[in-house]
Chains A and B, each alone.
Chain A
Amino acid sequence: MRLERRHETSRAALVLAPIGAVAFTLAISALLVLWAGAPVGRTYALLLQGGFGSVFAWSETLTRAIPLILTGLAATVAFKARLFNIGAEGQLYAGALAAVAVGGMHGGTGFEASPWLLFPLMMVAAALAGALMLLGPALMKNRLGVDEVVTTLLINFIVLLAVSALLDGPMKDPTAMGWPQSVSLQSDLELNKLIAQTRVHTGLLWAVSLAVIVWAIFKHTVLGFDIRAVGANARAAAFAGVPVTRTVVMVALLSGALAGLAGAIEVAGRTSYVTLDMSPGYGYTGIVIAMLAGLHPLGVIAAGVFVAGVLVGADTMSRAVGVPTYIADVIVAASLIAVLVATLLTQYRVRRT
């Protein structure tokens, strides 16, 4: 078997490939549903209904999509320059902690100031905290050749332990009855609800705007050009005069900042305090979303909403027919692999030898 590069790829194939791949994944996953002894049609119908079937379902899906779009963007920016940032999970927690450190209750950890001043300060602190988490691995990659995948992964564990230590000690909410939970955010720093009586908040506007901004950076700035050049071939880019090190540092700061903002926006929009389980792996799921979107910033919005819908729908479905919610994680992971293969087949054709 050998692969032969196609001369041209039609636009339709590029759009249909991921859809076909997801359909294929759902067909395969049906076997798992049968294993659990549930009717396939009803299970999938409930999954779809739970994720997208009502205003309430949509509001839950969009709420879940907010952190996923942001971590998806973080992965997109980094992967585009071939900086494999697997540390978005830790960067998200760093951002969340920074947000509470700046905007926590008076007498707790935060500062006393007008929300007009404090809110931007909180967001900047969160972005910086996330960015700093990735700066080290990026510099180690560039200066010493240390693989960033391993370092960013290991830092996730370190950050989680640091969060755990801080929630036991200095940042612990004394009124939380012994639960490891940070102090709450000052209420005037919390994000407004987008739809009354639901959980979906204005963080959605942040996520969508940031996706458009990242898209504009890719499309219309010198940095965007440099990122694409470094991603395509770092050595050739350096030869052509692209400042590779500076570009990688910029990418690290941007990617880490987006993941850090994901943490701050979760705190400000949904939880209002930091706990150790505030993210069920948003950082890792973000990688899948970036790949499903083909590293396209606007595609990240669609991929984020799709994955969020599957995760939310699985909860409803599980309650109704008893298929474990982990089916959602299987579908998301298998979709990633199927989309990779499908995308490849739009660029190459398989020839027998």
Chain B
Amino acid sequence: MSDLLDILANASFWVATLRIATPLIFGTLGVLLCERAGVLNLGIEGIMVAGAFAGWLAVYAGAPLWVGVGVAALTGMAFGLLHAFLTVGLALSQHVSGLGITLLATALSYYGYRVSFPKVNTPPTITPFAPMEWLPIPVLGAQTPLTLLALALVPAVAWVLYRTPVGLAVRMVGENPQAAEGQGVSVAATRTGAIVAGSALMGVAGSFLTLSAFNAFFFNMVNGRGWICVALVVFASWRPGKALLGALLFAFFDALQLRLQQSGDAVLPYQLYLMLPYLLSILALVLVARKASYPQALMKPYRKGER
């Protein structure tokens, strides 16, 4: 018990929590945007891999770090456009299209990595983002600018969704596309825009791993974080503020799990601690399921004039 208090009293624990939360915040906001427009995007896991790889490769080739982030966003947008073409344009199954994109984006990234570095065993490194030591705020000062961006995006996305005509259009096509079309909103254009914007955030989520949390690209580095974001959006009832809360809560337990594992006197196998985040995700899904208010048109393809 005193172990636990020691951990919680340590600033480095909270630094780790916020660091673990950052890619989840980007990714969860990305999924949220797509789903608010009525489209599930299971491409996130692969888009994060592609963002992590493309952003890192750009920086490795000599681009500034922020250009790397931009490249990751553009990579995300490209895959988002493909997902939009398949699910909005052709009204194919959103589940299957998303999984296909995850497989394709992951395979392309790994292939690209191996073609670029055929005989390399230790991954080449870059100089990642530095912590914002100029910022006189305890935990936040130890983070990199991408974390600040993630935190700033939460109110920004909320403002766009609830206070702008674009946000209203996005929510309308996610709830009732027929009615939206009747109001002169183009369902196809709005959904495509939301998917592309959301996928850009997913790409940035991936680039945080290679450009900020680590300084190299590894196989399996995304390791299910994308799927966690899909669960977090349900937990957050599709609200940006709650998405932030969910990401922080999840990261809290993940960081705790890491510390407990390191504290040495672990009585349980370490794998049980690693399971904790996934078990919590499922528990969270079950707990909020009854109250969850899905966007009414989620996963329902819309074809003009068809019912």
Contacts and interface: CB of A to CB of B under 8 A. Distances in A.
Contacts of B290: 144
A348 B125 CA distance: 49
Interface in A132-160: 140, 144-147, 149-151, 153-155, 157-158
A322 B93 CA distance: 36
Contact of B118 (A151, A153, A322): A322
B100 A149 contact: no
B168 interface: no
Contacts of A155: 278, 282
B274 A149 contact: no
Contacts, number: 130
B114 A169 contact: no
A144 B289 contact: yes
Given A86-B99, A326-B114, A337-B86, A146 B285 contact: yes
A291 B96 contact: yes
B227 A337 contact: no
Interface residues of A, number: 46
Contacts of A329: 103, 106-107, 110-111
A149 B275 contact: no
A327 interface: yes
A2 interface: yes
A151 B228 CA distance: 10
Interface string B265-307: 0000101101100110110011001101000000000011100
Contacts of B304: 2
Contacts of B135: none
A336 interface: yes
B115 interface: yes
Contact of A165 (B115, B269, B285): B269
B97 interface: yes
B115 A36 contact: yes
A329 B114 CA distance: 13
17 contacts: A1-B89, A3-B303, A84-B95, A140-B289, A144-B290, A145-B292, A150-B285, A169-B269, A287-B99, A291-B100, A324-B111, A329-B110, A332-B103, A333-B104, A337-B97, A340-B97, A341-B90
**Those 3 A-B pairs whose CB atoms lie nearest each other, nearest first:** A324-B114, A329-B107, A333-B103
